[in-house]
Amino acid sequence: MKNLTKSEISFRKQMLVASFLFAFFFIALLSVGGYIISKDLGEKEIFKTLDHYRNELQKMTTSISETEIAKGFKYQKIVTTRLNQFVVDKKIFDSYELYDSDGNLIDQKDFLKGGGFITGTGIVTPPLGKSSVEIKNKVPIEVPVQLEPGKMGKAVLNISNQVLAKQAEEFRRGMIIKLSTLLGLIFFMLLLAYFYVVHLLKQYRTIQKEIENQNKLSYLGFLSSGLAHEIKNPLNSLKLNVQLLEEGLRSNVERDDLLPSVPPMLNQIKKLEKLTHDFLIFAKPLNPELKKTDLVEIVKDTASLLLESNKEKEITIEFEEDDCAKNIFVDESLMRIVFSNLLLNSIQSSEDKGKIGVRFSKEKNFCQIDVIDYGEGIKEENKDRIFEIFFTTKAEGTGLGLAIVKRIIEAHNGKIEVIDEKVGAHFRILIPLE
């Protein structure tokens, strides 16, 4: 097995924990919901069944044919026979009572005790013909019955709460078994989906790594070609000057005649040194060491050094300070590089005795720094390319300065942009205060 990085191990752990939590809450929610639904459905199903029994019994007891009467059967006998048969067939009723048209009890049977009058807490029974039976702890269903031609009585079938509860429990048990089977299938499908998603994520990460490698190679090729192009011109110049120096030495040219070829070579060597230095800054990984820093003093120190080295231009830099920049967490050395590049560009773009403005201000959770000059400015067609590596409009430029500035600011979780101005160039930097 290949060695996994910390990010990959963390990713796998998070995937596993998230999957287990999702499965747990999903199944728990379905289980609770299924129990509530099955309980509610169980009770509804029982009463629905009782209502169906009521309709069925009513048809049986009110449709007595003349053929049965002609055979000598009495209405009451036919009704009681059908009641007995009905109770035996359905197997859930405990007893029944039969009442005449005046509401007097004329017949009763207890199927739990094998017939006769019921005593105890279930049903309190008076003597026949006196009054209706008092029902306790039982659910009755009533149906009209025909006891004599033109006279209707009623039959009351009783089912105990215990039997109802048992019937509902059996229904719920069946529902739970079905629901459990469904949950098992859902869990199995989720498991398959999980492994499939993991497989897709692995493929995605593999493809992503391949794309990243391709991008790195492409970018490396771009950097290499750009660097080779920037190095080529100074090397050609050096080569030419060295050849001239060599020819002069071979032909015994006077020393004073050879000296003019030395400064151009030194200039080209300095240019190569700066190019190499800037490229290393751009190419190496940036890990800013954030410390509480007075950014105003850093910018002022950098500006002072640049003005000293360019004192022939007599440039003036005006500062507008703000407390937000005096206690900000930045990498001091990297910030010196940022403002060295920006201020040097402004000085080189400004006319002699020109002015440059540096303004500090607080904008929400950011410290905003504006560097403004009144020189030749940035052409409209170049604004979108100004931060590209190796892009420059200066004959002696390397095209790395602003690319480095952008990379350093972004390493601080900040942002740099060009603000449209009619005259000169205006760069705005935003650095998080936290």
Q: What is the CATH number of the domain that holds 300?
A: 3.30.565.10
Task: Give domain status of residue 156, yes or no.
Answer: no
Distances (CA, A) of 131 to 9, 104, 284: 82, 5, 104
Ordered DSSP codes for 72-91? T--HHHHHHHHHHHHHHHH-
Amino acid making up residue 104: N
What's the token pair of residue 249?
């030495």
Instruction: Tell me the C-alpha distance between 376 and 217, whole Å.
Output: 37
Beta-bridged to residue 142, according to DSSP, are 156
Provide the 10 A C-beta neighbour count for residue 346. 27
Give mean pLDDT, residues 180-206: 78
Give mean pLDDT, residues 307-335: 89
Torsion angles phi and psi, residue 224, rounded to 5: -65, -45
Give mean pLDDT, residues 209-215: 76
Question: Residue 198: which residues within 8 A CB-CB, separation 6 or more?
Answer: 15
The residue among 383 and 182 whose pLDDT is bigger is: 383
25-29, 75-79, 94-98, 118-122: which is most confident: 94-98
At which residue do the structure tokens 């019921």 appear? 118
**What is the pLDDT, as a whole number, of residue 99?**
87
Instruction: Tell me the C-alpha distance between 68 and 375, whole Å.
Output: 121
Which of these, 356, 347, 325, 281, lies nearest to 430 by C-alpha position? 325
What's the token pair of residue 324?
């937000």
Task: Give domain status of residue 13, yes or no.
Answer: no
111-120, 192-201, 297-306, 408-417: least confident range: 111-120
Task: Give domain status of residue 186, yes or no.
Answer: no
Task: Give domain status of residue 236, yes or no.
Answer: no
Tell me the residue length of the chain.
434
Amino acid making up residue 65: S
Which of these, 129, 125, 173, 153, lies nearest to 62 by C-alpha position? 153
Entry pTM? 0.48
Strand intervals (E) in 280-373: 291-293, 316-320, 328-330, 355-363, 366-373
At which residue do the structure tokens 């005006």 appear? 318
Task: Give domain status of residue 399, yes or no.
Answer: yes
Q: Does pLDDT of 70 surpass 60?
A: no
Task: Give domain status of residue 157, yes or no.
Answer: no
Amino acid making up residue 14: Q
Task: Give domain status of residue 232, yes or no.
Answer: no
Ordered DSSP codes for 384-396? TTTTSTT--SSTT
Could you tell me the residue range of the domain that residue 342 belongs to? 285-432
Position 11 confidence tier, pLDDT thresholds 50, 70, 90: low
- Contact (CB, 8 A) for 409 and 401: no
Position 1 confidence tier, pLDDT thresholds 50, 70, 90: very low
The pLDDT tens digits for 299-311 are 999 999 999 888 8
Task: Give domain status of residue 91, yes or no.
Answer: no
Q: What is the number of structural domains in the chain?
A: 1
Mean pLDDT of the chain: 77
